[in-house]
Amino acid sequence: MTATYGVLKEISRRGHRITVLTTVIGQPKTPAIMTLDNGALTVRYLQGFFEGVFFSPRLIRLLPSLQGHDLVHLNSYRNFPCDAVHIWARRQEIPTIISAHGSISAYRYQPSFPLSRQLIYRLHDIVLPGPVRSADVAIAVSSLEARHYEAFGVSPKRIRVVPNCVDLDTFSPGRPEHPLEESMGSKLVGYVGRLDPIKGLVTLLNAFELVHRKDPQSKLVMIGPDFGMKKVLHSIIAERNIPGVVFRNPVPYRQLVDIYRSLDVAVSPSSFEVFGMSNLEAMACGRPVVSTNIGGASDLIEEGYDGYLVQPGDHEALASQILNLLQDEERAKTIGKNAWSKAQAYGIERTANLLEQTYADCLSTNTTHRTT
């Protein structure tokens, strides 16, 4: 989200006025409105209810005051704010852009996704598909998400690929100011992200068990919020007596830099990922990455040059590539250097350029349609 804010700041700096509407749940002290950057960027925080739905009565009351906007950019899909603002924008004949961020198909890849929620999602797609199918432009962060849009019924002519970005001023190579204590005297393998069933963390544990047998000095650190997997992972570790695994709580965004810089190898074992921000952040810090060959990783990583790709669920291949990097320091340095070079093409300014051009094309097309 911090990189997204950076993009919005850059676009507003170029003379565009932006209003952000976002819901918050369980944070009554959050200010109702914040105006930043000399009034060009305004963020309105709306109290929401029901996690995942984000129902907000205040949003309905606020919409009539938003007259005069040239376009609406919807983020995410299948929630109340997205549906409500889409309907309002259509009635006002304001063009809309959608960024689904993987929300169209992510649930299909979750092994234990409740059947009741699957039915709700499918019903929503029948009754309220408009935010995606009626959008003037659908923004994909990777070629995989572009294919998801097409499968959902969006014409390829209306799809634009705008990859995620990283703050290159923050994420860069160097010595960590506050290195992880686990890195002292050990080779450190790291995962940064949600502890979620979709993230392939059992595969990672299986792989690390093989890694530790070959390299007893290695450690695995997992850093991120628990989304139902921590207890499962602890159980596996205890049952199989897997040594060297450490869990850490989430850290503030800017502290992630020290974490990546402390790692010898960064790993992303997900079974589904439309982009994979942790890969890009690690690469920007000059760290070698081993990732599953899915989503944005397939677009971002060139196999054997600036990272390694393995198939989801293949713990033996994952272990093999981790060991290759731990046991060959020169190779790891070369991969890390190439990874840093690749990440330089994913800065905030480039994404702002692509997004600004997408906005301009959308407005131009709609102006032409209205005058013919």
Domain 2-165+348-371 has CATH 1.20.1250.20: no
Q: Cα(315)–Cα(55) distance, rounded to whole angstroms? A: 41
Structure tokens at 51: 């996690």
**Taking the domains of the chain in order of start, what are their residue ranges?**
2-165+348-371, 181-346
Q: What is the mean pLDDT of the chain?
A: 90
Residue-wise pLDDT tens digits, 255-304: 999 999 999 999 999 999 999 999 999 999 999 999 999 988 999 999 99
Residue-wise pLDDT tens digits, 86-143: 999 999 999 999 999 999 988 888 777 888 888 999 999 999 999 999 999 999 999 9
User: Do the domains at 2-165+348-371 and 181-346 have one common CATH topology?
Assistant: yes
Q: Which amino acid is at 237?
A: I
Kindly report the three-state secondary structure assignment for every residue of 282-305: HHHCCCCEEEECCHHHHHHCCECC
Question: Residue 371: its pLDDT value, please?
Answer: 36
SS3 166: strand
Residue-wise pLDDT tens digits, 22-36: 887 766 665 665 555
Q: What percent of the chain has pLDDT over 70?
A: 94
Query: What is the DSSP track for 93-154?
Result: T--EEEE-TTTTTGGGG-TT--HHHHHHHHHHHHH--HHHHT-SEEEESSHHHHHHHHHTT-
What value does the CA radius of gyration of the chain take, rounded to a whole number of Å? 22
In words, the CATH class of domain 181-346 is alpha beta
Residue-wise pLDDT tens digits, 204-242: 999 999 999 999 999 999 999 999 899 999 999 999 999
